[in-house]
Structure 1
């Protein structure tokens, strides 16, 4: 069984909600204005501001870019310019948005473009030995697809658990609390895709 780490998720959701509402009002934006700027639906923004939704990292990235702010250093670098028609965009590794969670010994690199946040998002997940990524429920109908690239990884979604090794893909509900953890006392690496219904 994968052990749950204590995490004050309610406090994090509350702080994000408060900051988002405060910055939006400072910039004199309505929910509709921010929805148009960020590509995040008005209803999702309203749920986030009320602390009723746990936004994905890519959704937070979109919001920080739309508002021109950094949520307490949660996200790094600036987004790359959109590719012109007929061109190939190259996003250097050092400019790929990366989130380090030292307490949980994991790192997420946001690989999906900002305009897909809240729909289809993909990440490179690196877990140190004993590392874990713990998430509250995402939007209703959300699913995650995790392909293990290196090591062994265990997934807990609600009350269900499964584990896999390199080459295995684990698919599970993400609209319930879920956890991804490195197993066997070794580091692990995976490609994580989040689909929102």
Structure 2
């Protein structure tokens, strides 16, 4: 993220944390991240990982997209990139992402809110994905839907994978 995006993200985290009347220490502890890391993020410094941002969104009880939308719509690490394509605020709130995984990359995702569903459509490559106890192998053009209220994994094949990820949240579970 560039400096402006980090500043916007920091302000967003502060606003969400203060809205819940939580201290910085309380949120850091709930999210399982160092207080110093959260402090730097709120100051618009550092380079938060995807995992850190997902943990914060989960603890703040908001979709990932609601956290990053004000900063920028794409977050990358060395082997995984996630870009927000759209947020739909209808009766069933929906986030749509494009996720790109490098060859043999693995991304572990924590549980979303109960009742959340994910649909994966493989655009290119191979992907083994789903809840940790029920991974499914998908080829290009393959589609898989699963309950995302449990830990789940994305494991790219030797050519990597490009995936359209659609997350359907329980009614009223957006910010």
Q: TM-score under structure 2 normalisation?
A: 0.60
SS in 2 for 1:187: strand
Name structure 1 gaps, 5 residues minimum: 1-15, 26-47, 66-74, 77-96
Distance 1:50 1:172, change over 3 A: closer
Shift of 1:49: 8.9
* 1:56, distance to aligned residue in structure 2 (A): 3.3
In the TM superposition, what is the alpha-carbon distance from 1:18 to its structure 2 partner? 7.5
Structure 1 consecutive aligned stretches of length 4 or more whose deviation exceeds 2 Å: 16-20, 22-25, 48-53, 113-116
Residues 61/178 of structure 1: CA separation in 2 closer, same or farther (3 Å cut): same
Q: Work out whether residues 154 and 163 of structure 1, in 8 Å CA contact, stay in contact via their aligned partners in 2.
A: yes
Of 138, 151, 164, which residue of structure 2 is paired with 1:191? 164
Change (3 A) 1:148 1:50: closer
Match of 1:133 in 2: 107
Q: What's the offset of the Cα at 1:196?
A: 1.0
Among candidates 56, 62, 66, match of residue 63 of structure 2: 56
Instruction: State the alpha-carbon separation in 1 of the partners of residues 80 and 137 from structure 2.
Output: 18
1:21 matches 2:17? yes
Cα deviation, residue 187, structure 1? 1.5
| Distance in 2 between residues matched to 1:50 and 1:142, nearest whole Å | 12
Instruction: Give the Cα–Cα distance (whole angstroms) in 1 for the partners of residues 86 and 100 of structure 2.
Output: 16
* Aligned residue number for residue 153 of structure 1: 127
Say how many residue pairs are matched: 124
Are residues 170 and 50 of structure 1, via their aligned partners in 2, closer, same or farther at CA, if it must alter by over 3 Å?
A: closer
- Specify the alignment match of 1:93 in structure 2: none
**Would you say the 8 A contact 2:87–2:93 is kept in 1?**
no
How far did 1:136 drift? 0.8
Deviations 1:117-161 (A, max 9, x none): x81010111111122332111111001000001000001304111
1:59 deviates by: 2.4
3-state DSSP of counterpart to 1:108: strand
Distance 1:191 1:49, change over 3 A: closer
CA distance in 1, matches of 2:81, 2:102: 9
1:28-177 superposed matches below 5 A: 51=59, 53=61, 55-62=62-69, 65=70, 75-76=71-72, 97-102=73-78, 105-113=79-87, 115=89, 119-177=93-151
Computed over aligned residues only, the root mean square deviation of the Cα atoms, in angstroms, reads 3.0
